[in-house]
Each structure stands twice: as structure tokens, then as C-alpha cells.
Amino acid sequence: MNEALKISRRDLMIAGAVSASALASQGAEPAGPTPAQQDGAAHELPMVDVRLTINDRSHRLRLDTRTTLLDALREHLHLTGTKKGCDHGQCGACTVLVNGRRINSCLSLAVMHPGDNITTIEGLGTPERLHPLQAAFVKHDGYQCGYCTPGQICSAVGMLDEIKRGVPSHVSADIVAMPLLSTDELRERMSGNLCRCGAYSNIVEAIVDVAGGVA
């Protein structure tokens, strides 16, 4: 090694300490945020104003942009008829209707729905005037604990409309023909709604009753 470039480890440490104290004496801040600054940034929530139309009523909310539609309904508007089961799009307990189409509200952000018409189980019927599917679930004993029931009913409303609109399913033999409501079609189309109590046969009976029979 060139003698002029020879530097011991001790010399290097002394040089580093001198530079640091020089920076401190000039009041220079070390580069990057301090732990306290990082903590503050983590607590600054990305809030936004959003207007939602739910069951024909307009609601103005200030929400963290990451709030799901399900949490907006339950935690902010106290519409607790819509249930949280898995919170991962796998059980259907959180099913609501958006512009007449069924969706899993746990998989959708509330801020995606300004201008949409959202219908929850509370908007389908009232205890005095039940929706035909609500009445059929009562008549056919289509539930036990009832936890999945709001999602089942909202899903069934959307599903019967899909049949009317000619939307095919995985078991439709001819995807361009108008689908008929067979038991296979019904079970396939409702397969996204799980019932831990296993009330499936009564749920099918209730839906078939409202549909006026199966093909």
C-alpha cells in the first residue's frame, strides 16, 4: 500500500468523532426523520369526506381512506344488520347490494361508492313490511343463529335478479341461453354465502318459494 494512504483504524475513529462533533456544534441535524418524526407520520391518517347513499338516505362521513364499506356501515353508521364474518371475502356474511348488484362489502372501500345506491338488509324491508325473501326465510325456518341471514337474503335478492338478467353461472350448460333456476343453479349461485349452522336446505326452500319453483 502507498505509505501516504496508510491510516490506522484508530485514526479513522478519531476522524469520525471529530466530524460528528463539528456537525453538532453547527446545529446540523442528521439526515432522515427522527424516530419521533416517524411516529408522528404513522399517526397522520389519510382522511377524506365521502357522501354515501344507503337505503335511500344520504350520509356524509369523514373516513380514513382505507375504511371498508362494511366498516363504514357498521362502525360509522351503526347499520349492524350487515355482518362481519371472515373480513376476507370468503363467507358472504357482509353481502349488500350496490346499484342492485350483490357485493362483499368487506372487499370494497367506502370511498369507492359516492353516487352509488347501497341497500343493506335494513333497507329491504321492515319488521311490519318484510321483503318477500325475509318473509320466506321466516316461513321456511331458513336460519338458526341468524348470523349469515342478512347476507343470505341480500345475496338471494341479487341472485334472482342475475337470473332475470340472463347472467350465466359456472353450472350453466349454455352460457348464451337465458338461465333457468334449477336447484344446481341456485346452489352454485349462492355458494359464496356460507352458513355455519347448515341451514342450507331451508334457505333453498325459501328462495325457491319466492322464485315460484325450480326448473
Does residue 38 bind ligand FES (CB under 6 A)? no
Contact region with ligand FES (CB under 6 A), list: 11-19, 51-59, 83-91, 154-162: 83-91
CA distance 61 to 146: 29
Cα distance between residue 117 and residue 93, in whole Å: 19
CA separation for the pair 124, 152 (Å, rounded): 13
What would the grid cell of residue 11 be?
A: 485514526
Size of the residue set binding ligand FES (CB under 6 A): 23
Q: Is 93 in the site for ligand FES (CB under 6 A)?
A: yes
By CB under 6 A, residue 133 contacts ligand FES? no
Contact between 85 and ligand FES by CB under 6 A: the answer reads yes
Record the cell numbers describing residue 105, joined without a space. Answer: 362489502
Three-state DSSP at 119 gives strand
> For residue 136, what is its C-alpha cell?
320466506
Smallest distance, ligand FES to C-beta of residue 176, A: 30
Establish if 191 lies at the interface with ligand FES (CB under 6 A): no
Task: Show the cell assigned to 158.
Answer: 341479487
User: Which run of H or of E encompasses 35?
Assistant: helix 35-42
Q: Is 148 in the site for ligand FES (CB under 6 A)?
A: yes
Q: Which residue in 164, 178, 196, 201 binds ligand FES (CB under 6 A)?
A: 196
- CA dist list (Å): 171 to 27, 61, 101, 141, 205: 72, 41, 20, 27, 20
- Shortest Cβ 208–ligand FES spacing (Å): 18
Of 81-89, 126-134, 159-167, 180-188: span binding ligand FES (CB under 6 A) = 81-89
Q: Which of 73, 181, 199, 211 binds ligand FES (CB under 6 A)?
A: 199
Contacts with ligand FES by CB under 6 A lie at: 84-87, 89-94, 104, 106, 143-149, 195-197, 199
